[in-house]
Chain A
Amino acid sequence: MTEKVVAEKKAKAGLFDLRGILALLFGVYGVVLTVMGLVSTSQADLDKAAGVNINLWMGVFMLVVALAFLAWARLRPLAVPETTGETATGSTAGSTAATEGGRGN
């Protein structure tokens, strides 16, 4: 395996961005908890949680977290190489882009 092929593989390995997945997870969780907090909080639930509507609070908090991850991913995107492995220079550029992809992480 040549150095160039290795570089290309590295670029691919970084292709999917964990920040997007985290935003998805907490977005879904946040919506579910917020809705539950708004519509289905019984007095028993409140008594259990020391009088706090914890689903609502954590739901809103998770939505904020989800937005923060989205904003981070948007502001400092992973630089995906445009011409992965098409040409010799393409794969070299790919490896540089992959190394720079995490800038700011």
Chain B
Amino acid sequence: MHFLADADLRLDAGPIDYALLAVYFALVLGIGAMARRSVSSSLDFFLSGRSLPAWVTGLAFISANLGAVEIFGMTANGAQYGLPTMHYYWIGAIPAMVFLGLVMMPFYYGSKVRSVPEFLLRRFGKFAHLTNGISFALAQVLIAGVNLFALATVVNLLLGWPLWLSVVVAAVIVLAYTSLGGLSAAVYNEVMQFFVIVAMLLPLTFLGLKRVGGWQGLVDKVAGTTGSSAADQLSSWPGTNLTGIGNATLSVLGIVFGLGFVLSFGYWTTNFAEVQRAMSAKSMSAARRTPLIGAYPKTLIALIIIIPGMIAAVIVPELREMKAGAENGVTYNNAILLLIRDLLPNGMLGIAITGLLAAFMAGMAANVSSFNTVFTYDIWQAYIVKDKPDDYYLRVGRVATVAGCVVAIGTAFIASSFNNIMDYLQTLFGFFNAPLFATFILGMFWKRMTPLAGGLGLIFGTASAVTVDLLNRAEVLDLAGQGASFVAASVAFVVDIAVSVGVSLVTKPKPESELRGLVWSLTPRDQLRHDDTGENSGWYRKPVVLGAGVLALTVVLNIVFW
């Protein structure tokens, strides 16, 4: 990526902007220090003592994902592809979040496991557990690298520090508050960051729309600058430009099955960096509401992320030239920074810079805090040093946090070699999350699935996604856009299911008595129910009502932006 060298990209920050930034960091570190006082056991450190209210975990749930992916990637997608990008939210997130809250959360929270791999341990035993523990830890440090790299590029742009120094300084700040306060500090910062990022995106959207002459003005300008492909940019379906699949029917299928089902359900329901936020809620009811409460802002934030991206493509001169085919060193990844440069005066500029830095730090902190949990509980405690007192594992968690940050500095340089962060991330999700989701869903609903099938399914699923990616890179397959990662994820899902079913039929399943609470058909219905009295009472706190509400909202938005 070339955000850097180009002097035109430098944001013109003044003393006031730096002061606003400093206020935020003072608060962040303060929270870390305050949270430290309330950390006295490993459960406090890794799951906030399971004490957080639902609105906090709900906002943290989406903020953990609102890092580099969203801010750079989705404005870039908005600038490049236009409205089809909405699918990443309305097809690619909301249904899965509702499914997590309504169907899967009772198993996670109810079984009192501390991590997603631990659920696999209970369901399938050690082989699947270790496989997933290692692949998850690996995925998290790779993704932390992406966030760290994006963060460093902003610091580099802003202060002109060299990239390596920006990477190291950014890593040290994340390290400071996550190793002090554990998950509580990470979660609190995520919620603060959510509000700051909204305070940045709202004025960008309104000022941008005002500049282009309202929604109709934007439509006219997009039509004027993109000519024959304007129709693709301005309607969300069938999204052929996004998937790179020419045939409209296949493109819709790719979006619905590849993105909407496999990638999205895989990501939102099994990615521990997300699920950990719900697990830290204070009751089963709050845990179920976590993804559902998060789904509402998630639905709406799409508008103030993607529309600014589209606006950037028509009002920022460099982007307009680039979209018309000129080679001027600007990429779509620069969309949000260019728009900030062109619209916000000092003052709001400081808020915007704070929002961006906070988002990337929160993204990285989410990866690091889930990495240290899985590393400590699922690798170190389970296989390397067993049966030590709790404070030993608390210390291991802190050391793992340091190690995670150090490794992320290395993986940040891997991320720097990719042109489009979003392509890289979707590729990683295809490798790690798609097979995991297949294993989960089969294991949760099919009691016959055996321990060996759990482990082998994961290995073959990941291997097949990697194969598709390599074939595409070697140009044996020809998929442009993000279609390649949709296909890789779909293949991984299908292969995982096929291998799991095949292996299950020839190996011996676990006895039914050990699967209670882990498999749908063997779990007594009342064990999945939660307390709906007291603070959990009221129709508006019913998970089904919340879930149905957000699905209805999504349908309406899909129709409006058809």
List chain A positions with a Cβ less than 8 A from chain B. 1, 6, 9-10, 12-16, 18, 21-22, 24-26, 28-29, 32-33, 36-37, 41, 44-45, 48-52, 54-55, 57-59, 62, 65, 98-105
User: In the bound complex, do residue B211 and residue A50 qualify as a contact, i.e. CB atoms below 8 Å apart?
Assistant: yes
The answer to whether the Cβ of B343 comes within 8 Å of any Cβ in the partner chain is yes
CB pair A105–B49 under 8 Å, yes or no, is no
A51 contact set on B, CB distance < 8 A = 210
Query: How many residues of B sit at the interface, in one of the four size bands?
Result: 35 or more
B221 to chain A, nearest CB (A): 14
Asked if A26 and B344 make an inter-chain contact with CB atoms under 8 angstroms apart, the answer reads: no
CB pair B192–A21 under 8 Å, yes or no, is yes
In the complex, the answer to whether B351 meets A33 with C-beta atoms within 8 Å is yes
B203: CB under 8 A from chain A?
Answer: yes
User: A102 with B535: in contact, given A14-B51, A52-B210, A54-B348 (CB under 8 Å)?
Assistant: yes
Instruction: State whether A55 and B348 are in contact (beta carbons under 8 Å apart), knowing that A50-B207, A99-B535 are contacts in the complex.
Output: yes
Cα separation A41 to B348 with both chains bound (whole Å): 12
Chain A residues with Cβ below 8 Å from B27 are 21, 24-25
Across the interface, do A54 and B38 meet the contact criterion of CB distance under 8 Å?
Answer: no
* B53 and A49 form a contact (CB under 8 A): no
Q: How far is the CB of B497 from chain A (nearest CB, A)?
A: 40
Q: Say if the beta carbon of B270 comes within 8 Å of chain A.
A: no
Instruction: Give the shortest distance, in Å, between A101 (CB) and chain B (any CB).
Output: 8
Chain A residues lying within 8 Å of B282, measured Cβ to Cβ, are 10, 14, 98-99, 102
Residue in A closest to B24 when the chains form the complex, CB atoms = A25
Number of A-B contacts (CB under 8 A): 124
Summarize B's interface: helix, strand, loop or mixed: helix
Interface residue from B20, B49, B286, B343 paired with A10 (Cβ < 8 Å)? B49
Which secondary structure dominates chain A's binding surface? helix
With a CB–CB cut-off of 8 A, which chain A residues contact B53?
101-102, 105
Q: Of A26, A49, A105, which one neighbours B55 at CB under 8 angstroms?
A: A105
B346 contacts which of A21, A29, A45, A98 (Cβ < 8 Å)? A45
B56 touches A105 (CB 8 A): yes
* CA distance in complex: A26, B354 (Å): 13
Query: A18 contacts which of B23, B188, B390, B535 (Cβ < 8 Å)?
Result: B188
8 additional contacts (CB under 8 A) given A12-B40, A54-B348: A18-B191, A26-B199, A45-B346, A52-B206, A52-B207, A54-B344, A58-B351, A103-B535
In the complex the two chains form, what is the Cα distance from A101 to B202 in whole Å? Answer: 32
B residues at A contact (CB < 8 Å):
16, 19-20, 23-24, 27, 31, 34-35, 38, 40-41, 43-44, 48-56, 184, 188, 191-192, 195-196, 199, 202-203, 206-207, 210-211, 282-283, 286, 342-348, 351, 390, 534-535
CB-based contact A9/B188 at 8 Å = no
Contacts of A32 in B (CB 8 A): 16, 19-20, 347
Residues of B within 8 A of A21 (CB): 27, 31, 188, 192
A residues near B43, Cβ cutoff 8 Å: 6
Most buried by B among A15, A59, A99, A102: A102
Measured CB to CB, the closest approach of chain B to A77, in angstroms, equals 13
Verify B534–A36 contact, CB threshold 8 A: no
In the complex, the answer to whether A28 meets B54 with C-beta atoms within 8 Å is no
10 smallest CB-CB distances across A and B, nearest first, come from A102-B53, A105-B53, A45-B345, A13-B49, A55-B347, A50-B210, A36-B347, A50-B211, A13-B51, A103-B535
Residue in A15, A22, A36, A65 whose beta carbon sits within 8 Å of that of B192 in the complex: A22
Cα distance, A47 to B509, chains bound together (Å): 70
Contact present for B283 and A41 (CB under 8 Å): no
| Residue pair B345, A100 in contact (C-beta under 8 Å) | no
CA distance A33 to B423 in the complex (A): 37
Could you tell me the distance between the alpha carbons of A97 and B191 in the complex, rounded to whole angstroms?
A: 23
Q: Give Cα A15 to B211, complex, Å.
A: 46
Other-chain contact of B199, A14, A45, A58 (Cβ < 8 Å):
A58
Contact A13 B48, beta carbon cutoff 8 Å: yes
Q: When the two chains form their complex, are residues B23 and A29 in contact, meaning their CB atoms are under 8 A apart?
A: yes
Asked if A29 and B207 make an inter-chain contact with CB atoms under 8 angstroms apart, the answer reads: no
Cα distance A41–B347 in the bound complex, in angstroms: 10
Residue of A nearest to B280 (CB): A13
**Is B342 touching A48 in the complex (CB atoms < 8 A)?**
yes
A87 to B36, CA, bound (A): 25
Partner of B38, one of A12, A24, A26, A49: A12
Q: Judging by beta carbons under 8 Å apart, are B345 and A41 in contact?
A: yes
Instruction: Please report the C-alpha to C-alpha distance between residue A10 and residue B43 in the assembled complex, in whole angstroms.
Output: 10
Contacts of B211 in A (CB 8 A): 50
Q: How far is the CA of A9 from the CA of B282 in the complex (A)?
A: 13
CB–CB B34/A29 < 8 A: no
**Residue of A25, A45, A59 with highest tally of chain B CB at under 10 A:** A25
In the complex, are the beta carbons of B192 and A25 less than 8 A apart?
yes
A44–B50 CA distance with the chains assembled, in angstroms: 51
**Closest B residue to A42 using CB positions:** B345
